[in-house]
Amino acid sequence: MDQDPLTPLFSPLTTLRGVGPTVGALIAKVAGGERVIDLLFHLPESYVDRRQRPTIAEARPGQIVTLAVEVVRLEPPANERQPWRVVVTDGTGFAELVFFKFNRERQMPQGAKLLVSGKIELFGGRRTMPHPEHVVPADRPQLLPLVEPVWKLTGGLWPRQVASAIVQALARLPSFPEWHDAALLRREKWPGFADALRALQAPSAVPGGANRCRLAYDELLADQVALAVVRGRLRARPGRGLSGDDSLRAKALSRFGYTLTGSQTQALAEIDADLAADRRMLRLLQGDVGSGKTMVALLAMLRAVEAGGQAAMMAPTEVLAKQHHRTLSRLSPEPVAILTGGVKGRARAQLLRGLKDGAVRMVVGTHALFQESVEYRDLALAVIDEQHRFGVDQRLLLGGKGELTDVLVMTATPIPRTLLLTQWGEMDVSRLTEKPPGRQPVRTSLHSLGTLPDLLDAVARKLDEGAQVYWVCPLVAESEALDLAAAEERFATLRELFGEVVGLAHGRQDAVVRDATLAAFAAGGCRLLVATTVVEVGVDVPQATVMVIEHAERFGLAQLHQLRGRVGRGAAASFCLLLHEEWVNDAARRRLSLLRDTDDGFLIADEDFRLRGGGDILGTKQSGLPGFRLADPIEHEGLLHMANRDAAVLLGNDPKLASERGRAVRVLLRLFEKAAAMRTLAAG
Ligand code: ADP
Ligand code: MG
């Protein structure tokens, strides 16, 4: 049997000549993977152009040039600290090649004709080229790379090592079938995949933008087709129709006492249609904090119970699970159980029995809900709250307690459209754009840390009026110890000013202490809560009307918006004070001003995405779309939307990818390792 032509690309780097374990490990470190393909996808950040060929007289300081010269003489250093100087000429003037480490006497004897390339500098009136990057005999110009890629490197790894590994890696590229639409390629004037890769990685000229776009589009299309394939499979898999008589829902609504907002009604209708259809639901319910997702989720869960099944809601933390449990228990006519790591012994055993024999029909909990030991008699609906940190595969697993389980994911993080297309591409989306009535917008203002004394006066007045205050301090992993110290110091000063009513909560505390403080804040005994971002996704205290955020410039916009959502939950006027460093750059000021001027979470998310890249939304520092190596979310946003449509049309015409282009696209999927999609296609 022929060897699979892709195998050499997925082999370890060390299968390349000249790449041993040491160099292999260094390349793997910068390329993010230890296979040949990882190196091929480690694209240069820029290029050095050595095609400038001035005479010595014409060469301008600061310029990178290639000179054709003849060696006039060698000047050895007078002492240890002096460099070697090689005086050269081309007839128009003289230049000195300067070497602090020199072992090239034999390569450049007097009279030798050379091509030298490097940066020209002016030193004491003389033209010098300190440490030329290339010195080759004039009669062997092919040894001098005229255009040199600049890869991201690491200590101990040299460009020529990468370059030589790349040349071999490129030689392993098989001849690929073209997976893109011919008309598209003509229109965009894109080269083929392998040609684009060669043009970028082993360039003979500074590569044009089309090469990079072509590869970005390859990656984006692979992603979009893969998501569409998985999505199509999930949809096609028979689910079951869940319908109900509204008996439980009607009771819940009457206990609730409010009418649903237009957004809630709309979202519920979309969910009901999914539930009623005999295919599986995979829906994302997006809405700001306070937009009323919980009620929508409860009504969906009750529908599952009305239909005779079970429903489970998973929260990311124990605090949130308990909070949901309280809310749901208050409104639900059907008893709601709770399962967290803290439920142990007989209580746990009894609950697990109830889930297995169906006596328990509604349950809230942490990820404990989906552990292997937990069996359900008939889990019809799984609601997953705030799981924006999960990837596609993880979400599929969570729904896996039953092949037929409908899945509703709720998130308060307004996800920018671009990210929705990629990271959540397998889901349908409902958005709660409208807030329940009676809310007042939170008045947001910016303050420099220098004005802290005035600000403290204002906070004192608010406390006197009976308000409760959140005081949020930043906490990031890289500076955790410092940040915690700062938070504790702030707590100490505030406690000195305001006394016992000041509490402190952060993630490094003993959970018992922290939960007690949060409970005291909820009960009103604690009136000013100094907290790191632990409050970000938890605690619902409608009486809290003031939020102070220190070093707001260090937070992402979406995160600030979410924090701000913690206040303004009751009818009283609420305030959000963003404290920033006295000196903040324009970009930071723009971001904070945007937050001051709008309350639209979706707008903020799209803007944040544009300003900082997508990484932040996922709680990581790195920017860019997670999992993308060739495409850049901001630069290639247009291409992403194009790929999204392209994938839909392709699969619409050729769902099994059986046509000539379809088969080529299968190669693309393998190249970008879309395993789930490949499995799905193989399963027919
Ligand atoms: P989310 O989960 O989206 O953050 P919640 O479901 O916790 O929001 O709702 C926030 C608050 O708004 C709760 O106190 C809830 O009772 C209330 N609420 C939800 N829907 C409505 C509505 N249609 N009318 C009035 N109040 C509502
Ligand atoms: Mg919520």
- In tens, the pLDDT along 259-287 reads 999 999 999 999 999 999 888 888 999 98
Q: Are residues 467 and 575 in the same domain?
A: yes
Higher-confidence residue of 542 and 294: namely 294
Ligand 2 centroid–CA 293 distance in Å is 6
Two structure tokens written together for 107: 């390569």
Give domain status of residue 309, yes or no.
yes
Ligand 1 atom with minimal separation from the 294 CA: 6
Confidence of residue 623 (pLDDT cuts 50, 70, 90): very low
What is the average per-residue pLDDT within 549-567?
87
> Is 263 near ligand 1, meaning CB less than 6 Å away?
no
Of 580, 598, 616, the residue at which a domain comes to its end is 598
Q: Candidates 253, 295, 535: which one to mutate for ligand 1, based on the most atoms within 8 Å of Cβ? A: 295
Asked whether residue 368 is assigned to any structural domain, the reply reads yes
Domain of residue 312, CATH code: 3.40.50.300
Ligand 1 geometric centre to CA of 436 (Å): 6
> Residues 299, 408: one domain?
yes
**Residue 58 and residue 41 share a domain:** no
Which ligand sits nearest to residue 286's alpha carbon?
1
Does residue 617 carry a pLDDT above 50?
A: no
What's residue 510's pLDDT? Answer: 86
Per the domain annotation, does 663 fall within a domain?
no
pLDDT band at residue 112 using 50, 70 and 90 as cut-offs: very high
Q: What is the pLDDT of residue 396?
A: 58
Among 294, 430, 434, the mutation site with the greatest number of ligand 1 atoms within 8 A of its Cβ is 294
Ligand 1 atom closest to the Cα of residue 438 is: 25
Name the residue at shortest CA distance from atom 23 of ligand 1. 260
CATH of the domain at 64: 2.40.50.140
Q: For the chain, what is the domain count?
A: 4
Q: Is the CB of 264 under 6 A from ligand 1?
A: yes
**Least confident interval from 199-213, 416-430, 431-445:** 416-430
pLDDT score at 524: 92
Indicate whether 474 pLDDT > 60: yes
Residues 21 and 62 reside in one and the same domain: no
**Residues 288, 409 within the same domain:** yes
Closest residue (by CA) to atom 21 of ligand 1? 436
Torsion of CA 174, 179, 182, 186, to 10 degrees: -70
Is the residue at 625 inside a domain?
no
**Is there a domain that residue 647 lies in?**
no
d(CA 323, ligand 2 centre) in Å: 9
Q: How many CB atoms lie within 10 A of CB 243?
A: 11
Of all ligands present, the nearest one to the C-alpha of 327 is 1
CA–centroid distance, residue 294 to ligand 2 (Å): 6
**pLDDT value at 18 more than 80:** yes
Q: Is 292 in the pocket of ligand 1 (CB under 6 A)?
A: yes
Domain final position from 598, 616, 640: 598
pLDDT at 394: 55
* pLDDT reading at 472 higher than 90: yes
Confidence of residue 571 (pLDDT cuts 50, 70, 90): confident
Atom 20 (ligand 1) nearest CA: 292
497 part of a folded domain: yes
Same domain, 268 and 358: yes
Pair 132, 158 in one domain: no
Q: Token digits for 140? A: 């062997």
Lookup: tokens for 43: 């694209």
Nearest CA to ligand 1 atom 17: 292
Instruction: Answer yes or no: is the C-beta of 291 below 6 A from any ligand 1 atom.
Output: yes
So what's the pLDDT on residue 680?
84
pLDDT given for residue 615 in this prediction: 40
Distance 617 CA to ligand 1 centre (A): 24
d(C-alpha 268, C-alpha 7), whole Å: 48
Count the Cβ atoms, other than its own, within 10 Å of residue 96: 21
Average pLDDT, the chain: 88
Q: Let me know whether 104 and 74 are in one domain.
A: yes
Q: Is 258 in the pocket of ligand 1 (CB under 6 A)?
A: yes
> pLDDT confidence of 619, banded at 50, 70, 90?
very low
Ligand 1 atom with minimal separation from the 287 CA? 3
One DSSP character per residue, 254-306 reads HHH-SPPPHHHHHHHHHHHHHHHSSB--EEEEEE-TTS-HHHHHHHHHHHHHH
| Cβ-proximal residues to 110 (8 Å cutoff; 6+ apart), any chain | 71, 72, 73, 74
Both 99 and 173 in a single domain?
Answer: no
Closest CA to 533 of 477, 615, 602: 477
Assess contact for 371 and 351: CB atoms under 8 A: no
Domain termination site, one of 366, 401, 432: 432
The mean pLDDT value for 119-135 works out to 92
* Residue 283 covered by a domain: yes
Distance 382 CA to ligand 2 centre (A): 15
Instruction: Please state the rounded mean pLDDT for residues 501-516.
Output: 88
Does 537 fall in a domain? Answer: yes
Q: Which ligand is nearest to the CA of 257?
A: 1
* pLDDT at residue 393, rounded to an integer: 55
Residue 79: partners with Cβ closer than 8 Å, 6 or more residues away: none
Report whether residue 365 contacts ligand 1, using a CB cutoff of 6 Å.
no
Adjacent-strand bridge partners of 199: none
One domain for residues 488 and 367: no
Same domain, 264 and 405: yes
pLDDT tens digits for range 330-341: 999 999 999 998
Is 500 a residue whose pLDDT tops 80? yes
Task: Give percent above pLDDT 90 in the chain.
Answer: 61
Residue 350 and residue 284 share a domain: yes
User: Which structural domain, as residue segments, surrounds residue 535?
Assistant: 442-598
**Local structure of 247: helix, strand or coil:** helix
User: Is 406:304 a contact under the CB 8 Å cutoff?
Assistant: yes
Cα→Cα distances 339→127, 236, 313, 395, Å: 76, 32, 10, 20
DSSP strand pairing (121-123 vs 113-119): unpaired
Q: Is this structure's pTM higher than 0.85?
A: no
Q: Residue 173: its pLDDT value, please?
A: 96
